[in-house]
Amino acid sequence: PKFSTVVDGAIKSERAAASQDEDLELTRQIIMAHVQKMGLDEEGVEVDEDLLPSHNKNPEDYPANDLMIRAALGRDEVERTPVWLFRQAGRHLPEYHAYKEKVGRSFLDMLSYPEDVAECTMQPVRRYDMDAAILFSDILVIAEAFNIKVTMPGGVGIQVPCPLVGPADMMERVPSKDSLNKDFVHDKLGHVMESVKLIRSQM
């Protein structure tokens, strides 16, 4: 099989990677081609210091179990494959159902409460010997941030009562590109950031 990348406006076909090392190198080449296309140097994009992990400023804040991080970076061999439990799998736990009944909120409602997100994220980590915590959230929080109403009445799955019906509808209902800045993210998705901070404090 082949894949294609765009370099300097030209489509370049490549064969699929034959090994993990080759796959990592091909991925690096694709990323760097995009970086060069955007007129950036190999140091990457300047980022907001407030968005960087806390251990960038305080090395003591680096997680004691960094197996997942080392495996993701792919720089060195790791002693074993990291283990984690996806958020959906965590919902089988009796403590999840007990907590959900205690707070009296639906799944979607819980995603807006950092204390709920942190609790449900940490439940599998407390019960099992995990190498990472998976954020208790959903891609639907992005849709909601873009003014697309989402419901989950129970027993019928996710519902979108008023889906977008075309480009004109999207232009009218979805925030403009110019408004999608840091303030927008903090306003619409600030609860997600707070959830992550709370989870970090408990790990």
Determine the pLDDT at residue 80. Answer: 92
**Of the candidates 71, 141, 63, 59, the residue with the CA atom closest to the CA atom of residue 108:** 141
Q: For position 76, what pLDDT does the model report? A: 81
pLDDT at residue 6 in the model? 47
Strands 10-15 and 2-7: antiparallel
Task: Name the residue among 61, 55, 202, 68 with its Cα closest to residue 130.
Answer: 68
What pLDDT is recorded for position 5? 47
Percentage of the residues of the chain whose pLDDT score is greater than 70: 75
Residue predicted with more confidence, 42 or 200: 200
pLDDT in tens, 178-197: 888 889 999 999 999 999 98
pLDDT of residue 56: 59
Residue 58 has pLDDT above 60, yes or no: yes
**Is the pLDDT confidence value at 10 over 70?**
no
- In this predicted model, which residue has the larger pLDDT, 118 or 15? 118
Residue 13 has pLDDT above 60, yes or no: no
pLDDT at residue number 168: 92
Could you give the CA distance from residue 24 to residue 76 in angstroms, rounded to a whole number?
Answer: 12
Quick one: which of 164, 159, 158 has its CA closest to 146?
Answer: 164
CA distances from 134 to 124, 138, 167, 178, 203 (A): 9, 11, 34, 31, 12
Instruction: Specify the pLDDT at position 182.
Output: 87
CA–CA separation, 43 vs 15, rounded Å?
A: 28
Mean pLDDT of 20-30: 76
Contacts of 58 (CB under 8 A, 6+ apart): none
C-alpha distances in Å from residue 26, one per residue of 1, 30, 69, 159 = 14, 6, 20, 39
Q: What is the pLDDT of residue 53?
A: 60
Average pLDDT over residues 8-33: 64
Range scoring the smallest mean pLDDT among 43-52, 56-65, 67-76, 101-110: 43-52
How confident is the model over 48-67, as a mean pLDDT? 67
